[in-house]
Amino acid sequence: MTVLDYRLSQLDQLEAESIHIFRESAAEFERPVLMFSGGKDSIVMLRLAEKAFHPAKIPFPVLQVDTGRDFPEVLSTRDNWVNRLGVKLVIASVDDAIRDGIVVEDGKTSRNRMQIATLLHAIEDNGFTAAFGGGRRDEEKARAKERVYSHRDEFGQWDPKNQRPELWNLYNGRLHQGEHMRVFPISNWTELDIWDYIGREGIEIPSIYCSHQRRVFERDGMLLSESEWNTLREGETVTERTVRFRTVGDITLTGCVESGASTVDEIITEVATARVTERGATRGDDRFSEAAMEDRKKEGYF
């Protein structure tokens, strides 16, 4: 006698939950947008959105906040995805924001932090009422306490003490004039889930996530890339090492790790034994203080 097992795997359950969130949000909000950096999390998010609305096209644009310091491999992958899916790409440029006086380049503030005002201006300028983000609760403690529907006030700010309950996966998307919602469809995923899904779906990702040779130098316990924007300090020397990136962002603040993992299967094995999250290990902007991420999110960061 054949017994059929209709139970979903963990990955299938996560996929179904994310697709449900995309469909609910697209039906509820007038002008949603998907924040797309070209990194692994936003790529998985775009793949989920593609599945959620297939065979129709994705019914909202994608938004990238361009720091002007992004890895070229990431921008190339971004363009491949946008062209394949035929979605509208909205680019909010930090360089343009500096030129237009939206943010001030004082030589001290990182481009990563300048993304906050740049993003908020793009959301207001385009009238977006909801923005899908690729934040996951396992990444960082500020993100661990954020809801799937994360309310932002008329100034784009987040109040962690004033969050809406989400009992039985019921989401409250009510907004007043000028407010918007950040929506996190992959909030319950882990880094390992992301890589398992990339492997299962055969998803295209930037090549720098895999092992490669790179000229790097060590600063504050991280390996940073040699580039025109990374000026060496006294005592720092450049060496060539075999590395890969666990997360991608501003090249001046994103570190890599020494690794020989050159395939998705090898990366999955490596991530399964990791004891530090990718942001904790390789993002300089999260090391400024114990509450660096929460402080930025309160101001409007994604």
Domain map (residue ranges) of the chain: 10-192+291-299, 206-287
- Decide: 71 and 168 in contact? Cβ < 8 Å: no
| Percent of the chain surpassing pLDDT 70 | 91
In tens, the pLDDT along 136-155 reads 988 877 777 889 999 999 98
- Range of lowest pLDDT (62-71, 120-129, 131-140, 275-284): 275-284
What is the pLDDT, as a whole number, of residue 111? 78
If 0-12 CB within 10 Å is exposed, 13-18 middle and 19+ buried, where does residue 237 land? exposed
Give the number of other Cβ atoms within 10 Å of residue 121's Cβ.
Answer: 17
What is the pLDDT, as a whole number, of residue 302? 59
How far is 204 from 44, CA to CA, in rounded Å?
10
CATH topology of domain 10-192+291-299: Rossmann fold (3.40.50)
What is the pLDDT, as a whole number, of residue 288? 45
In tens, the pLDDT along 284-294 reads 555 444 555 55
In tens, the pLDDT along 7-16 reads 889 999 999 9
Residue 247: CB partners within 8 Å, gap ≥ 6?
39, 40, 254, 278, 279, 282, 283
Model's pTM, two decimal places?
0.89
